[in-house]
């Protein structure tokens, strides 16, 4: 087997992986620090002044000055950044300008709601797309492959809001009427209290992510199936089942994990649109609201959450790729 060709033995290998993970975590932290600077700078560049946005038409020079003082908007930007960044390290994301309460209090339920939607969509779309992609490659040019290729191409080309609106028209308002058009989460409630209300948002996100993963899985599986080592395994007389599971699938999954990570991270952004369509109370809606209110602490907190998610998912994908790819694993 291929991993036997590696230069090092067992103990060195695990140490290599540990070191690799540690290095990647440190890189992730560095990325987050840089992101925090970019996020802070970007929110400063938002057109409009938070004090004005809060006071609206009632703004007078005196009330503006008082509010700026209260929000510490008069301090130098570097001090504002350092105050914010040290607060974050202590788990304190500041106070929401608009909600007049700690950002963590304001966002906690919304993070749970959005997280649940993302995890559920991921749990459905990942196995589903790996399965479809693998079988499409296996049954290349057969009807299953042709149909799924066409379908994935169509769904990949359609933006989430088109898919979401079409699903609402189809299942909730115009054609059939058996699913709720929006997701109402009562105060103190959780999205999983009413499973029927989360079907459409979940389905929209699944349809947004699955096509890309299916296509990359199919392509990578086709490549692996044509490789020398799979041919070798077949020639050795291994049963097809073993060939696929032990030799083909792990090697095809490597590149797929990277795409899954990127797509899941993309979901965190796509969820904004989906939350909008379904009036789903998550961080996407909060971000939109915060941007229009110039509620900088909330914008910054959500941007950091999404950035953190990107870093985390990429780290996971790298580790998973290493673990399923003997060639890479043994090189560490």
HSE toward the beta carbon, residue 208, CA cutoff 13 A = 31
- Angle CA 9–14–15, to nearest 5: 100
64, 124, 309, 319: residue in contact with other proteins (rule CB under 8 A) = 64
Using rule CB under 8 A, residue 274 touches other proteins? no
Using rule CB under 8 A, residue 66 touches other proteins? no
Q: Are 181 and 172 in contact (CB under 8 A)?
A: yes
Q: Which is nearer to other proteins, 23 or 177 (CB)?
A: 177
Q: Which is nearer to other proteins, 96 or 321 (CB)?
A: 96
DSSP-derived letter for residue 95 is B
Give the bridge partners for 95, in sequence order.
102
Q: What element of type H or E holds 192?
A: none
Using rule CB under 8 A, residue 166 touches other proteins? no
26, 119, 170, 184: residue in contact with other proteins (rule CB under 8 A) = 184
Determine the interface stretch with other proteins among 96-104, 129-137, 204-212, 236-244 (rule: CB under 8 A).
Answer: 96-104
132, 271, 277, 322: residue in contact with other proteins (rule CB under 8 A) = 277
Using rule CB under 8 A, residue 43 touches other proteins? no
CB 95 to other proteins: min, Å? 11
Using rule CB under 8 A, residue 104 touches other proteins? no
HSE toward the beta carbon, residue 2, CA cutoff 13 A = 19
Tell me the site size for other proteins, rule CB under 8 A.
48
Q: Which is nearer to other proteins, 32 or 99 (CB)?
A: 99
7, 9, 11, 47: residue in contact with other proteins (rule CB under 8 A) = 47
Phi, psi of 102 (to 5 degrees): -60, 140
Residue 314: C-alpha distances to residues 252, 260, 261 (Å): 18, 9, 6
CB 175 to other proteins: min, Å? 12
User: Cα(213)–Cα(129) distance, rounded to whole angstroms?
Assistant: 6
Contacts of 313 (CB under 8 A, 6+ apart): 261, 262, 264, 265
1, 7, 10, 57: residue in contact with other proteins (rule CB under 8 A) = 57
One-character DSSP codes across 209-245: HHHHHHHHHHHHHHHHHTSHHHHHHHHTT--HHHIII
Determine the interface stretch with other proteins among 74-82, 215-223, 248-256, 288-296 (rule: CB under 8 A).
Answer: 288-296
Q: Which is nearer to other proteins, 178 or 237 (CB)?
A: 178
Q: How many Cβ atoms from other residues are within 10 Å of residue 188's Cβ?
A: 7
CB 161 to other proteins: min, Å? 10
Q: Which is nearer to other proteins, 11 or 187 (CB)?
A: 187
**Residue carrying structure tokens 């080309």:** 157
Q: Is 133 exposed, middle or buried (0-12, 13-18, 19+ CB in 10 A)?
A: buried
106, 155, 212, 310: residue in contact with other proteins (rule CB under 8 A) = 106
Q: Are 295 and 247 in contact (CB under 8 A)?
A: no
Determine the interface stretch with other proteins among 48-56, 76-84, 227-235, 243-251 (rule: CB under 8 A).
Answer: 48-56
Annotate each residue in 188-217 with x if it binds other proteins (CB under 8 A) or - if it does not, as one string.
x-----------------------------
3-state SS, residue 73: coil
Residues that bind other proteins (CB under 8 A): 47-49, 51-60, 64, 96, 98-99, 106, 109, 165, 168, 172-174, 177, 179-182, 184-188, 276-279, 281, 285-286, 288-290, 292-293, 295, 298
């Amino acid at each position: 087997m291929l991993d036997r060709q590696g230069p090092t033995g067992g103990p060195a290998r695990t140490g290599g992986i540990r070191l690799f993970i540690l290095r990647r975590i440190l890189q992730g932290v560095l990325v987050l620090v840089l992101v925090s600077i970019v996020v802070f700078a970007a929110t400063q560049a938002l057109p409009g002044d938070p004090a004005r946005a809060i006071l609206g038409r009632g703004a007078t020079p005196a009330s503006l000055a008082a509010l700026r003082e209260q929000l510490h908007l008069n301090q130098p930007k570097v001090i504002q950044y350092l105050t914010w960044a040290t607060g974050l390290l202590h788990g304190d994301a500041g106070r929401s300008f608009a909600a007049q309460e700690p950002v963590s209090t304001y966002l906690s339920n919304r993070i749970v709601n959005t997280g649940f939607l993302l995890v559920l969509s991921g749990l459905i779309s990942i196995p589903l797309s790996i399965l479809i992609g693998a079988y499409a490659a296996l049954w290349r040019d057969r009807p299953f492959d042709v149909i799924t290729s066409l379908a994935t191409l169509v769904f990949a080309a359609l933006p989430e809001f088109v898919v979401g609106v079409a699903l609402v028209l189809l299942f909730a308002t115009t054609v059939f009427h058996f699913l709720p058009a929006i997701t109402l989460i009562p105060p103190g409630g959780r999205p999983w209290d009413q499973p029927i209300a989360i079907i459409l948002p979940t389905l929209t996100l699944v349809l947004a992510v699955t096509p890309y993963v299916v296509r990359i899985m199919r392509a990578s599986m086709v490549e692996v199936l044509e490789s020398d080592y799979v041919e070798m395994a077949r020639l050795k007389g291994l049963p097809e089942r073993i060939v696929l599971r032990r030799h083909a699938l792990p090697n095809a999954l490597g590149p797929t994990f990277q795409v899954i990570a990127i797509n899941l991270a993309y979901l965190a952004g796509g969820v904004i649109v989906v939350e909008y369509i379904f009036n789903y109370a998550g961080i996407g809606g909060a971000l939109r609201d915060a941007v229009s209110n110039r509620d900088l602490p909330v914008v910054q907190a959500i941007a950091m959450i999404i950035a953190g998610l990107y870093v985390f998912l990429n780290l996971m994908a790298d580790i998973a790729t290493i673990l399923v790819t003997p060639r890479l694993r043994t090189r560490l």
